[in-house]
Amino acid sequence: MSGRAYEERAGGFVNPAKARLAAGEVIGAFMVAVPSVAAVQILARSGIDALILDMEHGAIDLATLQAMIAATQGTRVAPLVRVPATEPWLVKPVLDAGAMGVNFPLIASAEEARRAAAAVRYPPGGVRGYAPSFAAARWGVSVAEYWRMADREILNIITIETPEAIAALDEILAVPGIDVAAIASFDLSMSLGRPGEFDHPEMRRLVAEAEAKIRRAGIVMAGVALSVEAAAAKRAAGYRMLLKGFDVAMLERAAHDAAGI
């Protein structure tokens, strides 16, 4: 589906990642932890669908974040932001900087999911404060048009990282306003005290339970796929948003490969 088709579908600018998901497509993303405008400029032109700018684990401040988001303009990439916690005061400046979506970590209850949904929406449906900041400029619309379409176009991604979250997943996914549920396999293995043991029976059981609940809820399922084989397996299991790389790991691997020439 072309960028022009997205534009005509909604009668104006739309979030390209959300439009592709709505069209039934599988999208890819890179996680970006390095606070670098130059890195974003390069990654945004790689052909990837979304960049998740990581304020949970990356050393990215708000001023740098705004510049990184602006650096995606003129590309097909949707700039998304992973915030450190599900708190409206953390979400407001991220969205005002022009982010097209928010990735909330460690969602483990329906109440936390409701807070996440409210944080990305203006009243009366949410608690987002109104500020004509940089968002309209990044989206290429007037302030008034941004305000009218933001609630519809912001992508809300929640991350499932613990057995407790999986136990409560039916209630979590029943909360209106969730677009994507991401299964964080490494964090889940950490919560079990078995970091990286993805084939452990309990780990496999929990992932299968989470996948079944997400499919049943009709929510887009996201997960990590760092190889062609992993991506194919994830697609076969119904995943439609794939985290295909981490900037630090990609840089490290490229540096080691180049050093060995």
Residue-wise pLDDT tens digits, 217-245: 999 999 999 999 999 999 999 999 999 99
Query: What's the CA gap between 177 and 155, in Å, rounded?
Result: 9
Question: What pLDDT does residue 12 have?
Answer: 55
SS3 77: coil
Q: How many residues does the chain have?
A: 261
Tokens read off for 119: 């944080």
Q: Which stretch of 1-15, 46-60, 129-143 has the lowest confidence by average pLDDT?
A: 1-15
Average pLDDT, integer, range 30-48: 98
Average pLDDT, integer, range 111-134: 95
Helix and strand numbers (H, E) in the chain are: 14, 8
pLDDT-derived band at 6, boundaries 50, 70, 90: very low
Question: What pLDDT does residue 2 have?
Answer: 41
Q: Residues 6 or more apart from 109 whose CB is under 8 A from it?
A: 165, 168, 171, 172
Which CATH architecture is the domain 15-130+140-259 placed in? Alpha-Beta Barrel (3.20)
pLDDT-derived band at 212, boundaries 50, 70, 90: very high
Average pLDDT, integer, range 249-257: 96
Q: Of 57, 148, 152, 215, which one is the catalytic site residue?
A: 57
DSSP state of 258: H
Residue-wise pLDDT tens digits, 165-198: 999 999 999 999 999 999 999 999 999 999 999 9
Query: How much is the pTM?
Result: 0.94
Question: What pLDDT does residue 3 have?
Answer: 41
Asked whether the predicted pLDDT for residue 1 surpasses 70, the reply is no
Instruction: Answer yes or no: 57 catalytic.
Output: yes
Query: Considering only CA atoms, which of 161, 164, 160, 136 is closest in space to residue 150?
Result: 136
Question: What pLDDT does residue 133 have?
Answer: 81
Question: What pLDDT does residue 132 have?
Answer: 74
Give the DSSP H or E segment for 3.
Answer: helix 3-10
Asked whether the predicted pLDDT for residue 4 surpasses 50, the reply is no
Query: What's the CA gap between 56 and 222, in Å, rounded?
Result: 18
Residue-wise pLDDT tens digits, 126-162: 999 998 789 999 999 999 999 999 999 999 999 999 9
